[in-house]
Structure 1
Amino acid sequence: MLTRLEPVFARLDREPERPAHLQTPRMSRHRVVLLAALLACYLAIVVAVLTTSWLVRLDWQIMFFRPYEQWPQLHAFLDYLVVLGQRGPTAVMVAAWLGWRSWRQHTLRPLITLGVALLLLNITVGSVKLGLGRLGPHYATQIGSAELFAGGDIFPSGHTANAVVTWGILAYLASTTVTRRVLSLFSAVVSLSVGATTVYLGTHWVSDVLLGWLAGLLIMLALPWFEPLIARTEAYVFELRELWRRRLEEGRLSAPVAAALTPLLSAGGKWQPGHSDDAAAVPVTASGAGAAGHSPALRPAGHPVARQHVIRSERTPVTPAGSRRPAHTERAAARGASARPAG
C-alpha cells in the first residue's frame, strides 16, 4: 500500500501550493480600537440584562410575538439552517477543508488556528453562560424577569458565536484580498441568519443573540495576539514528528506502534516549516550525510525513496544490442542435427 501511495506523496512534495505573498495578520491600531469598542458594547449588554432594562422588555415582547407562529411556513427550512451554528457539524466541515489546505500548503497553521479559536470560544462563552445561568424563553418562569442565575446556559447564544467564529476563520485564513472579502460576507450572512433563526424558533432571547455576535467578533479580532503561540505550536509538532521518525528509523518502537506510525511519518518529507526544495537534490554519502553536511530526511526501513520524475522527451533512448534469438541458419542446423539418427 505504501508503494502505491508513494507517487501521491512525492507529487505533493514536489508541488507545494503555499502562497508566497501570504502574511500573518497583525494587531493593528484600527483592530485594537474596534476590539475596545466591541468590548464596551459587550459589557453594556451584560449590564442591561443584569439591571432588567428596556432590552429585557424587548426580549419578552418578541417572545410573546412568537415568530414561529406568525410564519409557520419557514419552520421546516430554518430547522435545517440553524445547524450551520452547531459546534459539531460546522467544526467537522471546516476542519476537513482546512486539513486538506494544510496538506496542500505543507503547514499546520490553518488547523492550529481553528483549534485556538474554538478553545477561546469555549472558554469565554462557556464561562459567561455558566456564570450568569440564564434560562431560555421556553423555560422562563416569571414574566418581565431577566431569568438570571437560574441554572440555565443560554446567555450568550452559543449557536450565534460559533457561527461567527467557525465560518469567520475561513476569511481570517484567506490567501487573497478578494477571497477574504467574499468569505467575510459569507460568514456575516450565515451568522446573522443563524442568530435570527434562534430568535424565530424561540430558543434564544434577542439579547442572547446580540451578545453571541459580539462574543464571536471579539475572538476573531483578538486572534492576531495568538499568532506567536500558533507558530510555536506548529514548530513543536514538527519537532515531535521528527523525534518519532528517528525512533522509528532506529527501531526503538514496538511493532504495533511502528505499523501505525509508518504511513504518517513516512509521508510528506518536505512538510515542515522553512524547508527548501533544493534539499532534495543534496547527494547522500555512504555515511548517511549530504555533500554539505546536511542530514537527509529520515525514512523508515524498507520505505522506497521517491525517484525524480523524468518526462518522455528527456529519457535516454535505449537501442537493443541485438536479438537474443539465434539466426535462421543456426536454428536450421540445430533442427537438422536433432533429426539425424544416432550412430
Structure 2
Amino acid sequence: MTDFIAKAVLKRDVFSETQKGYLAGEPDKVVIRRVVTASPIWTRPLAWILARREIAALRAVKGIEGTPQLINTDKDGLERTWTEGAPLHLARPSSREFYKDAFRLLRQLRRAGITHNDLAKPQNWLMTPEGRASVIDFQLASRHRRRGALYRFMAYEDFRHLLKQMRSFAPDLMTPTGKRILARRSLPSRIWMATGKKVYNLITRGIFNWSDGEGTGDRLQHEGEIITAALQKVPGVRDVALTLYPLPRKGVGLYAFVEADGDISAQLRASQDNLENGARADLVQQVAALPRTAEGEVRHDLLSLVAMNQIPDLTAIIERDPALAAIVSPIIAGRLNFTDRRISRLETATNA
C-alpha cells in the first residue's frame, strides 16, 4: 500500500482516530485515514465491527456523487477520499437547490441498498463549495440486500432526519407534508427512543464514556455551570461561552471565552481555583466581543473551531462576512490552543 502521510487529526474517540493527510507522491490530493488500531485494546473488537460496516457501505456507494470513495484498506484501518465542504451547522444552507440535491443523494443511497442511520447529526451532512450536498461518516451505515421492513424503516428515518435539517436551517422550505411527517414519529422510532436509545446511551456514555457528536459532551455538562458561574462573578465580565477541544494526550479540555473590557486575565485565571468537584477551565481567553447570530445567540460553532485550532475551516467561513470577520479575527489571533493533533505510535513508526 502507498504510504500515508498524516497532517492533522480531525477526530479521535474510543473506536478510532481519523487523520487528514495525503498519499506519498500525491501531496495535492487530500485523503482521510481512519486508524482503527489507535483505539484501546478493550474497544477494538467493536471498533473493527464499525470499520467493516463503513468499508462495506463505501464499496456499495462507489460512484455516487456526494459520498466518500474508498481508496484502501489494511490491517490498521481504511483510507477514503476527502470531501470538501462545511457541515450544516456551519454552512446553514437555506436554498431549495441544496435540499433538492440532498434528496437526490438519499434516493441514490436507497437504490444502492444503503441506509446511513446517522443523519440526525448536522456534522454528517456537508455543503460543498459548489452548493451541493454530501454525506460522510458511514460507521453506522447498513447494507441491505433485501428491501424488507427493516430497510424501509431505516430509509424512512434517513428521510425524516433530512427533513429535520431542513426545518432547522430552511424552515420556509418545509411543505405541509414534511411538517406532518416530523410531527409524528413512526411506531418503531418511538419504541427505539423509549427502549433501545436508553440502552445505547448507557453503553456509549456510561461504559465507553463516549457521547454522540464528538463524544466529548459529558465534561461540559458536569463542570460547565460551575465554571461559568465562577467566571461571571469576576467584575467586568459580560458573558461567557464554553466549548471543548482535544487534549494532546487524551481526553478533552474545556476552553472558556470570556467577553469583557480591560485586562482582567489574572482575575479570570484566579476564579478557577478551588472550584466545586474539581471543575476548572483548562484555557480561559478574554475577548472584546463574542460572535453572535442576528438573533443575539452566541456562535458556539465558530468558537469551537477556534478552540480546536481549525483555522483554515474557520477562515473559509468568516471571509464571506466582513462584519463577522472583524469580531472573530482578534479571537483567532489571541487563541490559546495551537495544536489539534497528537502523534500516535503508528505515526511515529511511519515517520521514523
Q: What TM-score do you get using the length of structure 2 for normalisation?
A: 0.23
Q: What TM-score do you get using the length of structure 1 for normalisation?
A: 0.24
Which structure's residues are more often helix, by fraction? 1
Radius of gyration: which is bigger?
A: 1
Which structure's residues are more often strand, by fraction? 2
